[in-house]
Chains A and B, each alone.
Chain A
Amino acid sequence: MGANVVHLALFKETEIDHAAEAIARLRELGVSDHDISVISGIPYSERILGRPMTWTTIGRIGLAGAVVGFLVAIFLSFGTPLLYPIRVAAMPFQPIPTSIVVIFELTMLGLLISTFIGVFVETISPSFGPRGYHPKISDGHIGILFSSPAQVEESIHATLQALGAEIVHNVEEERLWP
């Protein structure tokens, strides 16, 4: 069996039904969901294109950041007075109401920063699916990126072109941007 070839089929966004149909046809022709990636200029839900649900760890990373922020706030509010105790008459040493403010701010800071870091980490982390891009995508096209064995290339092209696709070959070798 020959090596897989990466293709990019472009559909106009007005022909989204055709794009969804093309994904279904690719599946029928033996291309697995793992080897297909949809690229678009606006977000489409998985339901619209009939794709499996994608997952992300951003929520968990955000939650972990919130916990870290919370613990730092606990240390600052209740731990630091112990490091150098200064007791003032009639003043509580480790008051809870004022600590709530610090705990809230630092927990939210941890949540928000770690959410951003999560996006950043997931964006720059290596992707094992097919890669490719065409500037037309941000101009109102939907790109279906897929890799398939070279021997079924012709049948796939014929099917996709019948649905109105514009096929871009060997996208890996192209310069992604001008």
Chain B
Amino acid sequence: MAVEAKPLETAVPLPHAEEDPREHLMFDPRPREVMNRMVMEAMTTTSRRYWAWVIGLALVVLVCLLGAWGNMILTGMGLAGIRRPVFWGLFIVTFVFWIGISHAGTFVSAILRVFKAEFRRPFTRAAELMTTFALAAGALYPLIHLGRVWVFYWLIPYPNARWLWPNFRSPLVWDFLAITTYLLSSTIYLYLPLVPDLAMARDRTTGWRHALYRLLALGWRGTEAEWHRLRRAITIFAFAIIPVMFSVHTIVSWDFAVGVVAGWHSTIFGPYFIIGAILSGVAAVVSILFVLRSTMLHMDYFIRKEHFDALGKLLLVFSMAWAYFFFNDYLLTWYGGEEAARRILTLHATGPAAWVWYLMLICNVVIPWLTLWNRTIRRTPWAMFIITLLINVGMYAERYTIIPLTLGHQRMPFDWGVYTPRPTEISIVIGTFALFLLLYLLASRLIPLVPVWEVQEGQMAHTLRKVGKAEVPSVTELE
């Protein structure tokens, strides 16, 4: 039988919906002096609204954090709602939340730097700053939770009068070591790439600012040797800080998982916590970027829709990964047949606090999956702001589900109990949120939030190349 070849229909070119590459920061360069001026103006311009926020937040920190904590120190831990059977409440929930948020800086800066993801360039510092302040806020909680904070130094690994050293087999000591390592290294990692920008600020300021930047810039001039050693140090940090980041939240998860507590004793807790931390951290970066873009001068040049788009894609992937780990943990507990653990799962989903569990799933899975696949939504900054805030509400709910809602229903039904946060705890939590925002607000006017040299370096490496009739983006390896 003869085969008749049917000619193809004439191809009709589709209308091109491609965006102009010049919408991307890397293809929209401006002279260095202009970018310097923009960053300096953003840093030195303050409005009445800014100072109103600073004063308001400072008052909240004073009253809600220091006041409530001080009162708890004077009165006793009975002011908090933690009592038998739930001894880990809102303080530990918020501690885990802040440590999770702190993963953002390292993820955005170190991992994306190692993989040479170019879109990272304008907001690495904003993310690194978040890491440092989130750790500062989170590191308060072990002290708050201690009760007798005046003997906090017993946490430090040194021997007592009888030469008895702390027990280095305890996850709580690991916590101390991991958080100290991460706080120090992430602060240095924030500072190192900042030095050239501090030198730039030094050259453009007078008075106290000039004195401050001159001190912090360490006499930076930008010689070949200085650049060489700075890059070497940043490379060492970028590679070394990634496993440290992973270790911190893994160790936080071991605080739970090494105990033979139903619902906690899981081998998957390490990666499950890590993925949750990255999800909440990247979501927090998007929220912060929206605020910076909306409130600071010239930030709309540096932080563009493309950045929300790229981070939105990452969030979608991490939301899926989080759901995968959650389901793994859920299924194996359900399938394992341990009655106490299964009962906890049932209580999470049907008990009096089931709304927290559903809130977690809606915010961490339903909302991101329904919205972030859509490019238009990903490129709408205010929509991304709302979605990312909700993701963090979901992640807070996750920690609340894991900690007090699980602890309250262990193996002995006669020992069950419901945890209700007390006003002192809620006040302290609000206080640390205010502290984080206050520190960020102050830092935004003290250090250049955009790493200008990194942006310029990226812009120099990116060009548009004519291929046929199209102009296509091209990246050159300058290193």
Q: Does B429 interact with chain A (Cβ within 8 Å)? A: no
From A99, which residue of chain B is reached at the shortest CB distance?
Answer: B168
From A178, which residue of chain B is reached at the shortest CB distance?
Answer: B206
Are A109 and B180 neighbours in the complex by a CB distance under 8 Å? yes
Are B165 and A105 neighbours in the complex by a CB distance under 8 Å? no
Distance A118 CA – B230 CA, assembled complex (angstroms): 10
Distance A58 CA – B225 CA, assembled complex (angstroms): 12
Collect the chain B residues with CB atoms within 8 Å of residue A101's CB. 174, 177, 247, 251
Q: Does A51 interact with chain B (Cβ within 8 Å)? A: yes
Q: Mark B223-238, 1 if CB is under 8 A from A, else 0.
A: 1111111111100110
From A109, which residue of chain B is reached at the shortest CB distance?
Answer: B181
**Known contacts A108-B243, A113-B188, A137-B221; is-contact A58 B163 (Cβ 8 Å):** no
Q: Does B411 interact with chain A (Cβ within 8 Å)? A: no
Collect the chain A residues with CB atoms within 8 Å of residue B31's CB. 140
**Known contacts A76-B157, A133-B221; is-contact A45 B232 (Cβ 8 Å):** no
Contact of A112 among B185, B219, B247, B479 (CB under 8 A): B185
Q: Does A90 interact with chain B (Cβ within 8 Å)? A: no
Distance A37 CA – B165 CA, assembled complex (angstroms): 52
Contact of B163 among A42, A84, A178 (CB under 8 A): A84
Centre residue among B163, B206, B219 by max chain A CB count within 10 A:
B219
Q: Mark B184-217, 1 if CB is under 8 A from A, else 0.
A: 1100100010001001101110100010001000
Contact of A41 among B181, B188, B214, B453 (CB under 8 A): B453
**Known contacts A38-B223, A58-B229, A177-B210; is-contact A80 B457 (Cβ 8 Å):** no
Distance A44 CA – B185 CA, assembled complex (angstroms): 26
Collect the chain B residues with CB atoms within 8 Å of residue A45's CB. 478-479
Are B228 and A54 neighbours in the complex by a CB distance under 8 Å? yes
Distance A132 CA – B221 CA, assembled complex (angstroms): 8
Interface size on B, residues (CB 8 A): 61
Instruction: List the one stretch of A24-32, A119-127, A152-160, A162-170 in contact with chain B.
Output: A119-127
**Which residues of A (15-65) have their CB < 8 Å from a CB of B?**
37-46, 48-49, 51, 54-56, 58-59, 62
Are A138 and B203 neighbours in the complex by a CB distance under 8 Å? yes
Are B229 and A41 neighbours in the complex by a CB distance under 8 Å? no
Q: Does B164 interact with chain A (Cβ within 8 Å)? A: yes
Are A58 and B224 neighbours in the complex by a CB distance under 8 Å? no
Q: Does B49 interact with chain A (Cβ within 8 Å)? A: no
**How many residue pairs bridge A and B at CB < 8 Å?**
170
Collect the chain B residues with CB atoms within 8 Å of residue A133's CB. 221
From A59, which residue of chain B is reached at the shortest CB distance?
Answer: B232
Q: Does A147 interact with chain B (Cβ within 8 Å)? A: no
**Known contacts A105-B177, A111-B236, A119-B233; is-contact A48 B478 (Cβ 8 Å):** yes
Q: Does B316 interact with chain A (Cβ within 8 Å)? A: no
**Known contacts A56-B229, A108-B240; is-contact A102 B174 (Cβ 8 Å):** yes
25 A-B pairs whose Cβ atoms sit less than 8 Å apart in the complex? A37-B224, A40-B222, A40-B227, A42-B460, A43-B230, A43-B453, A44-B227, A44-B478, A51-B224, A58-B233, A62-B236, A76-B165, A83-B159, A84-B164, A101-B177, A102-B168, A109-B177, A112-B236, A113-B184, A113-B188, A122-B225, A124-B218, A138-B36, A139-B33, A177-B214
B positions within 8 Å CB-CB of A: 31-33, 36, 157, 159, 162-165, 168-169, 173-174, 177-178, 180-181, 184-185, 188, 192, 196, 199-200, 202-204, 206, 210, 214, 218-233, 236-237, 240-241, 243-244, 247, 251, 453, 456-457, 460, 478-479
Other contacts beyond A39-B224, A108-B181: 14, CB < 8 A:
A37-B225, A43-B230, A44-B478, A54-B228, A58-B236, A76-B157, A95-B169, A108-B240, A115-B237, A116-B188, A123-B219, A138-B200, A138-B203, A178-B203
